[in-house]
Structure 1
Amino acid sequence: MKKAVFLDRDGVINEVLTNRVKFVNKPKDLYFLPGVPEAIKKLNEHFDYIFVVTNQGGVGLGYMKETQLQKIHDYMIAELKKHGAIVDEAVYCPHKPKSGCECRKPNAKLIEDLAGKYNVDVTKSYMVGDTDTDIMAGKKAGTKGVFLGEHDKLADAVFPDLISAVDWIIEDANRA
């Protein structure tokens, strides 16, 4: 079986709620956080897959259409590829917050579906996020959780940003 890193998008890969951008509703609104392309490229060397798993309630709330969201993800993947960083697939929950769907994190359906599709061993994989719902989704799916921020009681590790977390993820995966 394969191993993967599942990454949340907003706040992990790109800026959100910053001076430069409030929400990413168009490709031109997507700004990578410092060190993200380098971090993903380094993860590519040690993991079979890198996935983006994101709640995008703005679709369900009518702030953007799914076609716009797909353009944002296509742009993100293409820009990362220019830096030698490969994201194998980006999946999302388009439903409104509190809609009760199975795919919205903290539920694990997006992660479980990718794991099934790509033959991923979730016990050797990681979910990286900046909210407790990201960590809860990973735990429900069976992954280890890496929280980007100050503190999360469910996380296996906490770091300020993705580039800081990469070495720990790689070392921990090699220990398993």
Structure 2
Amino acid sequence: MNILNNYTTVFIDRDGTIGGNGHYQSLNDFELFPYALSSIARLKAHGMSVFALSNQTHIEKGDMNYYDFFNSLIRMGFDDAFICPHSEQTNCNCRKPKKGLIEQAHRKYNFQNKQSIIIGDRFSSDIQLAQNCQMLGIHVATGKFEPQYFIDNQNHQKKNIITVQNLENAVNYVLSN
């Protein structure tokens, strides 16, 4: 393993983080940001495990097939994907910001939360999950606009939260720290 820093595991959200605009888009309509695949590859080249992490209500609604969605993420270079297929009304334990997807990952892989990162575009789900699991949360400004009412902006560093412009900047941060 060729890890340059203390981080071993990175979870990355799909919608608004690796592409799209933060809202649901079908597999055919979803467009990756130009730097998304190379960003995933750079993390893996440094010995990190890189997992997709996504809430996909449209699977439960029948608008998307779970396995087609999962396989699309694997084709992008992710080592594995942890997907909540439920709507908020289902009240499952896997919908971000609940810890269920991270618990699923722990059942399959050996990693420490304190050496893990969640990169995403939403404070209310991605960054809140990072907080709930005591992981570094890296917020990217490329997805759905969301007020920062969950996080006190002046205490980002103290609360283990970083805000960057996009996934490429997030990966640069990870690889330099």
The normalised TM-score by structure 2 is: 0.79
**Residue type matched to 1:69 in 2?**
Y
Query: Separation in 2 of the partners of 1:108 and 1:102?
Result: 7
**Residue type matched to 1:8 in 2?**
D
- Find the partner of 1:73 among 70, 74, 84: 70
Gaps of 5+ in 2: 1-6, 152-158
1:29-40 aligned at under 5 Å gives the runs 29-40=29-40
User: How big is the shift at 1:155?
Assistant: 5.5
Query: Separation in 2 of the partners of 1:51 and 1:69?
Result: 16
User: Percent same amino acid among aligned pairs?
Assistant: 26
Q: Deviations over 1:78-132 (max 9, x none)?
A: 2x2xxxxx31111211111243211000111101220332101110110001001
Question: Which has the larger helix fraction?
Answer: 1
**Residue type matched to 1:46 in 2?**
H
Q: Deviations over 1:24-61 (max 9, x none)?
A: 23x3222111210111111112243100111011122x
User: How big is the shift at 1:157?
Assistant: 0.8
Gaps of 5+ in 1: 81-85
Report what 1:135 is aligned to: 127
Size of the aligned set, in residue pairs, is 157
Report what 1:23 is aligned to: 24
Query: Separation in 2 of the partners of 1:113 and 1:47?
Result: 21
Q: Report the CA distance shift for 1:105/1:58 in structure 2 as closer, same or farther (over 3 A).
A: same
**Are the aligned partners of 1:111 and 1:138 in contact in 2 as well (CA < 8 Å)?**
no
- Find the partner of 1:156 among 161, 167, 170: 161
Query: Separation in 2 of the partners of 1:141 and 1:112?
Result: 10
Query: Separation in 2 of the partners of 1:108 and 1:99?
Result: 15
| Matched position secondary structure for 1:135 | helix
Query: Separation in 1 of the partners of 2:28 and 2:130?
Result: 29
Report what 1:53 is aligned to: 53
1:111-122 aligned at under 5 Å gives the runs 111-122=102-113
Report what 1:83 is aligned to: none
Query: Separation in 1 of the partners of 2:59 and 2:70?
Result: 14
User: How big is the shift at 1:63?
Assistant: 4.3
Report what 1:96 is aligned to: 87
Query: Separation in 1 of the partners of 2:18 and 2:25?
Result: 12
Query: Separation in 1 of the partners of 2:14 and 2:43?
Result: 16
**Are the aligned partners of 1:129 and 1:148 in contact in 2 as well (CA < 8 Å)?**
yes
| Matched position secondary structure for 1:29 | coil
Superposition RMSD on alpha carbons, in Å? Answer: 2.2
Runs of 4+ residues deviating >4 angstroms: none
